[in-house]
Amino acid sequence: MNVMSMQRHTRKMPHSLPEGRAPLRRPGAGLPYLDAVSATDSMEHENQRLSAYEHQVKHTFDRIIPCVRKLAAIQYEEDFVPLASERIIDELDLTPPTDVLQKAWTRQLDVKQLVSHLTLATYYRFVSGVQHVNPLAHPQCADFVSFLADCGYHRMDITPCADGRLAHVIRYVLRLPAEVVRRKAYAGAAFAVDDNVAKWAEVELKRQQSAPGTNTKYLKVVAYHFSSIDGEREGCAAHGSDDRKAAEFGRDALLGFKNAVAQGFSRPDAVEGLLIGIDTATDSIVLHTPDLEGSIDIDSSLQSTDCVGMSSDKIRAYVGSYASHSSEGMQRLVSQLIENNLAQLAYVKTNHDGCYPDVGHAERFIGIGVGFDEIQLRNLMYFGYLTTIEEGAPDVDVGLKIFKGLNQSRGLSTPIVIRFDYYGSVAGARERAVARAGRVADALKSRYPDHFAAGDIHYLQLSRDLDTRAAPEFLGSNLPSLTEDNLS
């Protein structure tokens, strides 16, 4: 089966969600189905739980624009400041940026600044709450690690495209535990081979110390994307919506990583690659599995949509027929991934009639740096994993191009969260994280001076100690209204 020959559909779909939204309180708080799911919970209950969480978080962000529109309509009222403050508290559960509101009577309300402030403040509340609730906790982390080992792998590392429509690839699309599956996103899934070799070496050292002699592999997965709806425009922006180019790039990146480990460490069999394509309109997946030598043929694939209605045994038989060139462990893993994805297809069918209404980009903000593991939701954030702007420039460029259509076309700014997480138990780690956040902010200003001069970029700098469940530390912002006091 060839994903490249998948039928194209051209019916137009809205590129953003409706603005009328409901729940008012902190994202993830006080909802049904947000309890940590037990290992015996049904797919239906799990889907209800995931749906409740997704709708709560997105609705909280999507209430911002309607709220600001109401405020803009009354900005010249004599009691505007107290009235606006009350609405922000009641509708968004945020501390009002009083200084922005107070200037409205002498000059027009700064809508760009207000929307950015409220968006970034909402993100801060969201991430602070997630540290305590962990609403997407997976019930079977230990079981998955054991299953992965039985398949012949000791670590699963996924690189999706930075496109926000793939941000939910682990917890939703593949139904895997985000706690134990590594994710680092790059524009076009163009991961840095050197960074991945360093991570492999780190994992390998720990593995040899804790479990010497075990004969398992490091599984590297690249997730590219395409769209069965308006695919000529809604494919991967980094690859010009060329599905084949995206798949070929992912295949070549996997081979480059495998060869780098083989040549640098004389370990030709240490790494195995798996290429997954995701239809961002429906969340269905195609899988290109490696042969016993590690080669991947992008013209050969398995499709989860072929398996709808199949039992587990029939799925395994299907995989055995179309992936007989792969190892038994890879076949077993892929069979489980297809079965997991069928739960996501049921989710999309129940909640969106089988196809997302926001086929195109609808991200609410950009996140850059190292962190953001709590973002497991589709089309919420465009993410660029980087330590410097120089190395991550392609990711940021693509993100700003996307937000030129999403926000700047409407007279709004692009909200950016700059975040660097660290382990407080490591000496000097916090100081290095703070310094990196500062350097990235400075580099943003240098690379995009016109954006900053026009007020088209507003950023928030954060860091978080991964050894604790504390809220992220506020480091700074180019919004005068955004301070540590009004985030707490």
Task: Say if residue 333 is in the same domain as residue 385.
Answer: no
Residue that wins the pLDDT comparison between 32 and 113 = 113
Give Cα separations from 244 to 28, 192, 247, 270, 298 (angstroms): 38, 21, 5, 27, 8
Contact 369, 475 (CB under 8 A): no
The predicted pLDDT at position 41 comes to 57
298 and 186, same domain (yes or no): yes
Centroid of chain to Cα 353: 23
What is the C-alpha separation between 320 and 324, in angstroms, rounded?
5
The answer on 367 and 338 residing in a single domain is no
Q: What are the DSSP calls for 110-121, one per residue? A: -HHHHHHHHHHH
pLDDT given for residue 42 in this prediction: 82
Domain assignment present for residue 451? The answer is: yes
CB 463 within 8 A of CB 476: no
Residues 459 and 412 both lie in one domain: yes
Contact 50, 376 (CB under 8 A): no
Mark whether 238 and 376 lie in a shared domain: no
Among residues 352, 380, 406, the one where a domain terminates is: 352
pLDDT in tens, 427-454: 999 999 999 999 999 999 999 999 999 9
What are the tens digits of pLDDT across the range 141-179? 999 999 999 999 999 999 999 999 999 999 999 999 999
CATH number for the domain harbouring residue 180: 3.40.1050
Start-to-end CA span in the chain (Å): 53
* Angstrom distance (rounded) from CA 239 to CA 283: 19
Closest Cα to residue 383, out of 234, 243, 183, 193?
183
Tally of structural domains, the chain: 2
Within this chain, do residues 339 and 406 fall inside the same structural domain, yes or no?
no
Share of the chain above pLDDT 70, in %: 91
Which residues belong to the active site? 163
Q: Do 103 and 148 reside in the same domain of the chain?
A: no
Asked if residue 44 is part of any domain, the answer here is no
CA dist 182 and 373 (Å) reads: 9
The pLDDT tens digits of the residues spanning 377-430 come to: 999 999 988 889 988 898 999 999 999 999 999 999 999 999 999 999 999 999
Same domain flag for 189 and 323: yes
Q: Check which CATH number belongs to the domain holding 482 and give it.
A: 3.30.1330.140
Of the residues 332, 352, 372, which one is the last residue of a structural domain? 352
Q: What is the pLDDT of residue 384?
A: 87
In a domain, 284, yes or no: yes
What's the pLDDT tens digit per position in 453-486? 999 999 999 999 999 988 999 999 999 999 998 8
Single-letter amino acid, residue 75: Q
DSSP E strands: which ranges in 227-349?
Answer: 271-279, 285-288, 302-303
- Here the tokens at position 195 are 């960074």
Q: For residues 74 and 111, state if they share a domain.
A: yes
Which residue reads 């290109």 in tokens?
A: 288
The average pLDDT across 209-219 equals 86
Q: Which tokens go with 7?
A: 């039928």
Which one of 320, 352, 384 terminates a domain?
Answer: 352
Domain assignment of residue 256, given as a range: 141-352
203 inside domain: yes
d(CA 483, CA 488): 9
DSSP string computed for 74-143: TTTSTTHHHHHHHHIIIII-----HHHHHGGGTS---HHHHHHHHHHHHHHHHHHHHHHH-TT--TTHHH
Q: In Å, what is the CA distance from 99 to each residue of 68, 75, 114?
A: 15, 14, 10
Shared domain for 343 and 368, answered yes or no, is no
Please indicate, yes or no, if residue 261 is contained in any of the structural domains. yes
Whether 49 is covered by a domain: the verdict is no
Give every CB contact of residue 39 below 8 A, 6+ residues apart in sequence: 139, 140, 143
C-alpha distances in angstroms, 456 versus 234, 445, 453?
Answer: 24, 11, 8
Tell me, yes or no, whether 14 lies in a domain: no
- The reported pLDDT for the residue numbered 131 is 72
Q: Do 181 and 105 fall into the same domain? A: no
Q: Does 255 lie in the same domain as 368?
A: no
Categorize the per-residue pLDDT at 6 as very low, low, confident or very high, splitting at 50, 70 and 90.
Answer: very low
Selected residue with higher pLDDT from 311 and 486: 311
Residue 442, domain member (yes or no): yes
